[in-house]
Amino acid sequence: QVWQVSAFDGSIISQNFIQDTTLTTPNHAIASGRGTIFVSDQILDSVREYDLNGNYLGDVAGAAQGLDNIRGIAVRNGELYVTVAGGALTNTIQKFNLTTNQQSTWATLPSGSSSPWAMHFRANDVLVSESGGDDIIRYDFNGTFLNRFYDSPGTNDLNFPEQIAETTTGDIYVAGFSLPTALYKFNASGT
């Protein structure tokens, strides 16, 4: 299921906004930029599209395009970005043009990093969380590795980072899935 919550106060609008019995591990639901909703499913290895009434429209990308163990998705300038943690495209971020369906590898995780989760486009760069090294990686808009926004020491620190969100003041919030489970707050430069 995909729930619908209020952007104002987080109250639940509908617990059954998208009720698709074929979903197994939906990880990320986002606006598609074309009046629909994209949902990534980690086990189905697909990005599914739904109308604003929650009706399934079809898969945008999936196993046929080499996607395996996918997690986070993002849309920017008519292109869909998908983090891939399994199969032949392991440790990459795949890019799909939503008009032509052309696929390319936008980025490959740097040495010492693996298992990408979420990605977030900021004004001048892109942040990607990865659970193999527990770091937040920074890329330019062409998918070129810049540096580690946050290099986790791994002990009593950010562990298994997943979702990333940014406030209007530029602070970054990252969800840490494993102990010490927490919501971590960074300033715009990674402190």
Is the Cβ–Cβ distance between 108 and 92 less than 8 Å? yes
Amino acid at residue number 51: D
Write down the pTM of the prediction.
Answer: 0.95
Contact between residue 27 and residue 40 where contact means Cβ atoms under 8 Å apart: yes
Q: Over the stretch 98-132, which tens digit does the pLDDT of each residue have?
A: 999 999 999 999 999 999 999 999 999 999 999 99
Question: What mean pLDDT value characterizes the chain?
Answer: 96
* Largest interatomic CA distance in the chain: 45
Strand order in the sheet with 182-186: 161-166, 172-176, 182-186
